[in-house]
Structure 1
Amino acid sequence: MNAEKTQVIQWCAEGALTGELTFPEIVGRLGQIGVERYHADYSRQEITYYLAEGDTLVVATLHPTHAIGTVFSASEVEAAVRQSQRNEHTYLEFIRKTMAAGCVGYFVQITGRCVIYFGRNGDSHVEQFPPSPVEK
């Protein structure tokens, strides 16, 4: 992986944590450099990025530690997603809410245009990307 792609990935990870970048901006930018998917691991506080050519990069995403709920609640995860889509909270607040809902992490499938949230026991919830303005 070249230095430019590494820099873009690190910038996207930091931009999410600081609120400088929105999810659509992040996904768009990562897709432009060939990232197919990424995995946010709440327990390890890191995101692993997977590029189409097989390269990977792990980036630390230090966030406040919160207890992960023991029961996965797809409805609470969905509610947190909807709040994010309406810009009603920060990414750090999204992390807190989804962790409380029993989510241990998620996969963003950029090429598949969906996010898969999962819990401790294999529970999952899938969210399709909202249509872009061009698709409406």
Structure 2
Amino acid sequence: MDAQQTSIAESCLNAAYDKTMAFPEIVGTLINAGFEGYVVDYRRNTTTYFLADGDGVTLENRSSEEKVAAQFDQPGIVAQIRWAQANPPDYSYMAFCKNVKALGCAGYIVSFLGRRVLYFGRTAETHVEHFPQ
């Protein structure tokens, strides 16, 4: 991975927190830079971005005190996803992260190739969200 790709990944992560880019724009930027997906790990407080050749970069997420709840509340997590997709004025990525952790989401995998996001809990329960057409 080159320095420019690392910088792009950092910029996209910061843009999510700062609400300066919406998810579709972040996805497009990462794809154009050669990434094929990323993994958010709420227990380790990291996001790892992957290239097609297997190389990647792991970045620290912004600090958060919330712990991942034991119970995976799929309907609650889906409601948070819909909130994020609607992107209303009160939406923030930091609040989304806090809320889904409280609902038992331990992290999620974004696959640009598969055009989906897989949310998972501590017990490996999952919810798959396909990218809009």
5 Å-filtered alignment, 1:82-97, equals: 82-88=82-88, 89-97=91-99
Give me the whole-angstrom Cα distance separating, in 2, the residues matched to 1:65 and 1:20.
Answer: 24
Aligned length: 131
Alignment partner, residue 36 of structure 2: 36
Gaps of 5+ in 2: none
1:114 aligns to what? 116
Listed as ranges, the gaps of 5+ residues in structure 1 are 132-136
1:19 is matched with 19
> 1:108·1:115 contact (CA, 8 Å) conserved in 2?
yes
Amino acid of the structure 1 residue aligned with 2:38: Y
Asked whether the 8 Å contact 1:39–1:49 carries over to 2, the reply is yes
Find the aligned partners of 1:68 and 1:59 in 2 and give their Cα distance. Answer: 19
Structure 1 runs (4+) deviating above 4 angstroms are none
Aligned-residue Cα RMSD (Å) equals 1.0
Tell me whether 1:55 sits opposite 2:52 in the alignment: no
How far residue 10 of structure 1 moved from its aligned partner, in angstroms, is: 0.8
- Normalised to the residue count of structure 1, the TM-score between the two structures is 0.92
